[in-house]
Structures are given as C-alpha cells and as structure tokens.
Chains A and B, each alone.
With several copies, the nearest count.
Chain A
Amino acid sequence: MVLGGRYPSRQRPVGWTARSLMDLTLSAQELQFRNTVRGWLQANVPPPWTRPLRDSEAKREYFAYLRDWQRTLFDGGWAGISWPKEHGGRGVSIIEQSIFQEELALAQAPDRLGVIGEGLVGPTIIAVGTEAQKQRFLKPLLMGEHIWCQGFSEPDAGSDLAALGTKAVLDGDHYVVNGQKIWTSFGHVANWCLLVVRTDSAAPKHKGLTCLLVDMKSPGVVVRPLRMMTGDEESNELFFTDVCVPESNLLGQVNQGWGVAMTALDKERANLGTGLYLRYKRHLDSLLERAKTMRRAGRPITEDPIVRQKLAQSYLDLEVFRLNSLRTLSGMSHSNAPSPEGSILKLYWSEMNQRNAQLALEVLGLPGQSWDFDDGRWGYNYLRSRGNTIEAGTSEIQRNIIAQRVLGLPRSY
C-alpha cells in the first residue's frame, strides 16, 4: 500500500527511541477520510467488467457501464473531489485525493471515463472560463454526461506544441475550424473537446493560439481511431472540416491559448503516482505469483539466482517509485500546486515500467510473451511500455524540464 496506517507499537528494540518527526503515517483525519471512502466504495463499486471488447456492441455496453459508474460517483459526492466545493467538488487535500485514488484501485473500481474532464478540462474552465461556461459545463462533466477529450497534438506538432496548424477563423459570431489533431484519447467516446487552434497566423508561434470548447457532434468533425503497436485502438485522430464553433465557446482570451493550454498540461502532469503505482504493483504481484508456478529445466524458476535478481530488481525499482511518489505528494501537500518536480516522477515511472516489462519477459522466457500465455499480458505490457517515454511529454522533454526548470541550467539550443 502506498499510504500506510499506523504500525502497532511493538516492543521497540533496546537502545533507541523513535522520536523522529518525519512521519509517514496518516493523520487521524486522513485515516477517517480513508474509512469513509472505503465504506462508500464497498457499498457502491459495481462488479468488475469481465467480458472481452471484441465487437462494437460490447464496447457500447462497456461505455455505458463506465458512464454509470461516473454517475454513481457523482451522486455519492465523489466526482471531482479535489475541485472547490462551490464548483461541485469536495475540496479535499492532495493527500486525501491520493487516498481516494488508492482506495479506488484497491476496490478494483472501474476505470474513470472522465479523467481528462476532471483532471484537465474542468480545472482549466474553473481557472479561466466564463461564468456561463462554468454553469454550462462543470456539472454535466462531473455527472458523466459530458465526456471530454483534448485536441492538442498534431502530426507536425508533437513535442513542439506551439507549431500547430489547425486554423480557426472568426466568421460573425462563430469560429470556423479546419485541421487535424492526433493522439486524442477518448476521442471516440467524447462529446466535447478542448481544442487548441491557431487564430493568428501572422503572430509568433506561441502568440496566435486560442482554446475552443468544441461539441464533437458538430458537422464536419470526423474521428478516426488510431491503433497502437499493441493492437489496441487507444487513441484517435480528429479531422475538422469547416466546423462551426460559437464564439461563446472560446475558453480564455483569443490568442492567449498557449497559456491556457500550458495551464491545462500542468494540471495533467500533476499525476500523484498513486494509481500508477498500484497498477504496476498488480503487474508485479501477478508476475511473482506466476513465477512461483513455473519450472524450467527441472526446477522452479524462482530458485534460479539470476531470475531472483531480476524479480528483486523489479521490486526495488517499483518501491523506489512509490517512495518518490510519496515524497512528491508530501511536498505538494504543502504547496498545493504541481511543480516541475513532477517531471522526475514521469521520467522515473516511464523508464521503470520499461525496465520491468522487459525483465518480466526475461523471467518468463519465450513462452511467456505469447498472446496465449496469461491472455498475452506480458507481451502487451512490454509493447505498451514503449509508449511510456513518449506519451505525456517524452523523456527528452522531461530531462530538459528538470535541467532547466528544476536545476536552473540555461535553455538549451
């Protein structure tokens, strides 16, 4: 577990007393929060989804299942818990938010359909949206009626977001949008999109961008699923042809979209690590269990000293990630703000997961990478891990951020 309770006060060893004030246990209030969450989840988490998602009918049903779950959360007061109360949230601390994530994972609750809405779009609307936008968008978002996606990256603007070329031209009281976006998660199920467009081609790159809130049912919006090397369609391309967006759906000021997008991305980077840790912990636990059942050349593979090294290395790597997450969480609980230190976590978990996905294949051997072994999860994890150092800011970008924004080295050329 990431966030421990209190340990039983066993007999302390002779010789020292623990008067350390650095303290990794939860406060009484936090423990109470956890119990409340846990109790609610026990009563409300639906049975896990187990059916395969081979056809579109199954996918539709799965989507409804996830949307119902979001509605259940909303009704229980557990949607957008970190948002301010006046906007429908619960105003919990960052540590409580982390406890919530941890409990969701422990309860094997369904995935969250609204992560982009809750984590990125909503907070940005709260930060820079008009009163009317807040009224219109925040509640449906929390209820799961609006599913959001983000339209930032383009084929020719990946790491270099400011280079994007999707254009919007003001025509009376609406913008006309033309262009293409890529890497849009949830694009196939979203009904709204936070879109960054170029509104001034003459201005310097960063200065001519604007953010729009786009109804995905608008005529001229086409979504094409994007298949990854894993075989999953986990992302999408969006095509915009003469799409009309009312001027009232401008988010923030015109030509100030760069700042709005950066605000949004900073919120995205503020991943607390808890959910990720628990996901990878499940992978590792199941690897350990699997390894204990396997024999190679006449003996259990867990007796092979080299296999033992690899399993232990995976374990320690993941544990160091947990501790880094805890430490970042503790730091953020003071500042209550994301910081460039988040880049360290991103860099750490992405490269760790790549190392560990590889080690799992080495431990299991060639049979273990088949799609017919444990549902193919080990081969899948390996392939999926290769995207970790690219998505949400490549490792190169993260190292630049650490060097420049954390260590204060000069901008590189």
Chain B
Amino acid sequence: MEFDLSKPQKLLRETARATLSRHFPLSRVREWMAIGATNEDSLWSTIADQGWVGLHLDNSIGGLGLGLVELTVVAEEMGRACMPGPYLATTWAATLLAQIDSPKSTELLPSITAGEHKATVALMDQDGDWDLKNIAMQLTPSEPGWKLTGRKTLVLDADSAHTLLCVVRQSSKLAIVFVPRKATGVSCEKKRSLDATRSLYDVAFNEVTIAESDVLAVGEQAHSAIEQSIRVATLAACAEMLGAMQWIHETTIEYAQTRKQFDRSIGSYQAVQHQCADIHLMTESARAATYYAAWALTSNAPDACKAIAIAKAYCSEVGREVGHRGVQVHGGIGFTWEHDMHLFLKRIKVCEFLFGDATWQREQIARLILK
C-alpha cells in the first residue's frame, strides 16, 4: 500500500513545476490577465508540447497512456501556477470524446492531444444546474439532419475552442452533438469571471444545422460518457484547487516566519500559529481526498463516484477557507491587487462552484449513501 506518489509521478510533478515556473511565472499570468488574453497560443503550444493534453488518454489517440493520478499531478501544478488557458476545458472535452465510439473521436483526438485543436463542452442550460436530468435543450428534426436552438451557460473557454461538444436532448434522450465553434448560428458571449484567468461564456445556438453524423452519441452511451467525463473534469478542478491551496500554504507559512510585528515574527503568535495549523490540516486533507479520488477513478474502485463527490465537496469548502486564512495572516498586504494572493483566492472561488459546489456534491453523496 502506497499513498504517496511513485518516483515517476514525482518526476512528472517536478517537471511540471519547473516548466510552468520557467515559462509562466505569475508576472506573465498577470500580463495575460491585463489584456484578457487567457487563451494565448504560445501558452497552449508549450503545454501541448509537454504531452499534458490528454496525458491520460491512450497512446493510440495521441495520449501518453498515463492514469488519472498523473493527470491530477499536472492539474495540481496548473493550479499552483494559477495557469490560464483551456487546459481544463480541453481535458474535459477530450475525455468526453474518448468515451465515445465514433469516427469523429478518432478524427479529432490526435489533433487535440497535439495541441492543434481545442475543444470544450457546452453542458448547462440557462437556469439549469449540473444535474444531467435538467438538460432540456432540444435537437429538432430538420431533414436531412437536425437543428439546434437554445442557450448554454458556463461554457469554459468557448471563444478559443474550435469545437463545442454540446449536450442536448434528442426527444427524451441525452445526446452529444459536435458543433464547430464557427458554425453559422453559434455566438459566444463572454461572462467576465471573478477569476480573470478563467474564461466562462454563454453560448447561443440559433438554428444551427447539425448533420446526422455530428450527433456523436445518444441515450445511455451519451449519458455514461458525459458522466464519466464530468468526473474527470471535477477531479481536475479539485487538483487545481489543491494546487492553489498549496501555493497559499507555502506563501503564508513563509510570510508568518518572516513578517515581524511587535518585534517578533507574527508566526510566533498563537492565533497565527493556529491559523497556519488549520491551513496545513485542510491542505493536506484536501490532498488525501483528491489523490484518493484520482486513484479510485483510475482503478475502477467501487467507491469512485463517491470519492469524486467527496473530494469536490471537501476541496470546495476548505479551499475557500485556506484562501481566507491566507489573506488574514497576510493582513492588509494580502488584500491588495499587487499581492498574488487574490489570484489564487479567485481561482479557488470559481472552482468551488464549477461542477457543483459543496451543497450540490453533498446531495450527490446522499443519493449514493441513502439508496
């Protein structure tokens, strides 16, 4: 039994950390933020060159054939670096495509993993929630294919995606539809996110023509593919939060050691010590929950679904707390724009709600334990 990362996994972590801090220091993240260019191409090609896009996918489709623990390692480092860009969106979309046995998957996946093609998932209806049963947007028949009209919300990085995988209904059945971002009738409206390093969009579909072959999956296959892809994406979001917590942890402990008030380091005050101890407890517990979820999902453990919901609920609650305590220990300086703390607080804040906040995840857990 080994809970810690294996040597190759640790190596992956070191590589990711070094690469990100070399190419994408926070100063550069801020430059992109300032001009709203969170999807810069140079960024994306660097990431893709490392093989991180679809690193958990089969070699046959351009992946590295690694597991979800490795995906978590990379996503954690993305969070620790507060990386902008469509990594989460594309990971989600690629995972979804990989679950679908269709020619389109085989066609698209190699260029996605190569970083040439970006994709995202358009899941949630306007006024919807994360529950698949509340997806109502309809494909309407239009010989020879279909038409799609409606509005999807909270779509990650829609603007820079080449492909939208749109989750809709074909009469009562769930369906996954391939829609090129540039198709006639598709328009994206950016919703400025609290986290300026993460772009969220409303996407309107106005009589968009869908060929029969672009309905990639329908019914049970669509349902289970979406569910599984959401689990992977949720895991990546947990990992990002964990990485952000880790940055706050390191930064706050160091500040507590060096900042002096009343002639002694503030870390010698019991109140500050206890804040730091709580930050540590929560960060390490989030680590245990997240990596366990990764392992359980990658190992088909019977409690994998529960483990994902637990990790997301826990990270959502404590990520926020860690952020708050990090700001508090820093005092005024931690509240400024100049200090990097708020980048991570905001990253955590959006992740807290993405794929369902703690309240929502607890309801998922309740469904599993009260059966």
Contact present for B68 and A15 (CB under 8 Å): no
Known interface pairs A305-B363, A315-B365, A390-B335. Does A347 touch B299 (Cβ–Cβ under 8 Å)?
Answer: no
Scan residues 40-84 of chain A and give those whose CB is less than 8 A from a CB of chain B: none
| B206 vs chain A, min Cβ distance (A) | 20
Contact present for A19 and B295 (CB under 8 Å): no
CB < 8 Å neighbour of B277 from A95, A308, A327, A407: A407
Contact present for B257 and A409 (CB under 8 Å): yes
Scan residues 283-313 of chain A and give those whose CB is less than 8 A from a CB of chain B: 288, 291-292, 294-298, 302, 305-306, 308-309, 311-313
For chain B, which range describes its interface: under 10, 10 to 19, 20 to 34, or 35 or more residues? 35 or more
Contact present for B270 and A309 (CB under 8 Å): no
Contact present for A312 and B98 (CB under 8 Å): no
Contact present for B67 and A19 (CB under 8 Å): yes
Binds A, one of B18-26, B39-47, B124-132, B174-182: B124-132
Residues from chain B with Cβ under 8 Å of A229 in the complex: 335-337, 339, 341-342, 345-346
Interface check A156, CB cutoff 8 A: yes
Known interface pairs A159-B261, A311-B370. Does A25 touch B1 (Cβ–Cβ under 8 Å)?
Answer: yes
Residues from chain A with Cβ under 8 Å of B69 in the complex: 20-22
Interface check A140, CB cutoff 8 A: no
Scan residues 348-379 of chain A and give those whose CB is less than 8 A from a CB of chain B: 348, 354, 358, 361-362, 365-367, 369-373, 376, 379
Residues from chain B with Cβ under 8 Å of A323 in the complex: 285, 288-289, 292
Contact present for B338 and A227 (CB under 8 Å): yes
Contact present for B280 and A13 (CB under 8 Å): no
Known interface pairs A7-B300, A348-B285. Does A409 touch B268 (Cβ–Cβ under 8 Å)?
Answer: yes
Q: Whole-angstrom distance between the alpha carbons of A346 and B346 in the complex?
A: 26
Interface check B35, CB cutoff 8 A: no
Residue of B nearest to A323 (CB): B288
Q: Whole-angstrom distance between the alpha carbons of A273 and B364 in the complex?
A: 27
Interface check B193, CB cutoff 8 A: yes
Known interface pairs A228-B335, A308-B366. Does A365 touch B353 (Cβ–Cβ under 8 Å)?
Answer: yes
Known interface pairs A21-B8, A159-B331, A229-B336. Does A298 touch B134 (Cβ–Cβ under 8 Å)?
Answer: yes
Residues from chain A with Cβ under 8 Å of B262 in the complex: 159-160, 163
CB < 8 Å neighbour of A14 from B70, B101, B271: B101
Known interface pairs A309-B362, A320-B314, A402-B281. Does A386 touch B63 (Cβ–Cβ under 8 Å)?
Answer: no
Per-residue contact bits, chain B 245-273, to A (CB 8 Å; 1 contact, 0 not): 00000000100110011111101111111
Known interface pairs A15-B99, A320-B289. Does A228 touch B337 (Cβ–Cβ under 8 Å)?
Answer: yes
Per-residue contact bits, chain B 273-314, to A (CB 8 Å; 1 contact, 0 not): 110111011001101110110110011111000110110011
Scan residues 132-163 of chain B and give those whose CB is less than 8 A from a CB of chain A: 134, 153-154
Scan residues 377-392 of chain A and give those whose CB is less than 8 A from a CB of chain B: 379, 382-383, 386-387, 389-391
Contact present for B370 and A15 (CB under 8 Å): no
Interface check B320, CB cutoff 8 A: yes
Known interface pairs A370-B191, A403-B277. Does A20 touch B299 (Cβ–Cβ under 8 Å)?
Answer: yes
Contact present for A404 and B1 (CB under 8 Å): no
Residues from chain B with Cβ under 8 Å of A157 in the complex: 261
Contact present for A312 and B362 (CB under 8 Å): yes
Contact present for B313 and A316 (CB under 8 Å): yes
Interface check A30, CB cutoff 8 A: yes
Interface check A24, CB cutoff 8 A: yes
| A357 vs chain B, min Cβ distance (A) | 11
Contact present for A226 and B194 (CB under 8 Å): no
Residues from chain A with Cβ under 8 Å of B265 in the complex: 409-410
Known interface pairs A22-B295, A323-B292, A347-B277. Does A16 touch B57 (Cβ–Cβ under 8 Å)?
Answer: yes
Q: Whole-angstrom distance between the alpha carbons of A228 and B324 in the complex?
A: 15
Residues from chain A with Cβ under 8 Å of B354 in the complex: 366
Residues from chain B with Cβ under 8 Å of A362 in the complex: 357, 359
Q: Whole-angstrom distance between the alpha carbons of A408 and B256 in the complex?
A: 10
Contact present for A330 and B5 (CB under 8 Å): no
CB < 8 Å neighbour of A27 from B1, B7, B192: B1
Interface check A197, CB cutoff 8 A: no
| A371 vs chain B, min Cβ distance (A) | 4
For chain A, which range describes its interface: under 10, 10 to 19, 20 to 34, or 35 or more residues? 35 or more
Contact present for A24 and B270 (CB under 8 Å): no
Interface check B6, CB cutoff 8 A: yes
CB < 8 Å neighbour of B127 from A292, A294, A311, A316: A294
Residue of A nearest to B298 (CB): A18
| A77 vs chain B, min Cβ distance (A) | 23
Residues from chain B with Cβ under 8 Å of A382 in the complex: 194, 349
Known interface pairs A17-B58, A308-B362, A365-B353. Does A407 touch B260 (Cβ–Cβ under 8 Å)?
Answer: no
| B181 vs chain A, min Cβ distance (A) | 21
Residues from chain B with Cβ under 8 Å of A373 in the complex: 191
Contact present for A311 and B369 (CB under 8 Å): yes
Residues from chain B with Cβ under 8 Å of A391 in the complex: 332
Contact present for A17 and B324 (CB under 8 Å): no
Residues from chain A with Cβ under 8 Å of B134 in the complex: 297-298
Scoring A7, A227, A295 by chain B CB atoms within 10 A of each residue's CB, the highest score goes to A7
Binds B, one of A141-149, A171-179, A260-268, A393-401: A393-401
Additional A-B contacts beyond A228-B337, A348-B285 (8; CB < 8 A): A13-B228, A24-B299, A155-B333, A309-B359, A309-B362, A347-B277, A371-B193, A410-B268
Chain B residues proximal to chain A, CB less than 8 Å = 1-9, 56-58, 61, 63, 65-70, 95, 98-99, 101, 127-129, 131, 134, 153-154, 191-194, 200, 228, 253, 256-257, 260-265, 267-274, 276-278, 280-281, 284-285, 287-289, 291-292, 294-295, 298-302, 306-307, 309-310, 313-314, 320, 324, 327-328, 331-339, 341-342, 345-346, 349-350, 353-354, 357, 359, 362-366, 369-370
**Can you list 21 contacts pairing A with B, beta carbon distance less than 8 Å?**
A15-B63, A18-B68, A21-B9, A155-B333, A157-B261, A229-B341, A297-B127, A298-B134, A312-B369, A326-B288, A327-B288, A331-B3, A331-B4, A347-B281, A396-B271, A399-B278, A400-B277, A403-B276, A407-B280, A409-B253, A409-B265
Chain A residues proximal to chain B, CB less than 8 Å = 3-4, 7, 9-10, 12-27, 30, 95, 153, 155-160, 163, 182-183, 226-229, 231, 288, 291-292, 294-298, 302, 305-306, 308-309, 311-313, 315-316, 319-320, 323-324, 326-327, 329-331, 333-334, 344, 347-348, 354, 358, 361-362, 365-367, 369-373, 376, 379, 382-383, 386-387, 389-391, 394-396, 398-400, 402-404, 406-413
Closest 6 A/B residue pairs (Cβ): A15-B98, A21-B6, A229-B342, A403-B273, A330-B3, A308-B366
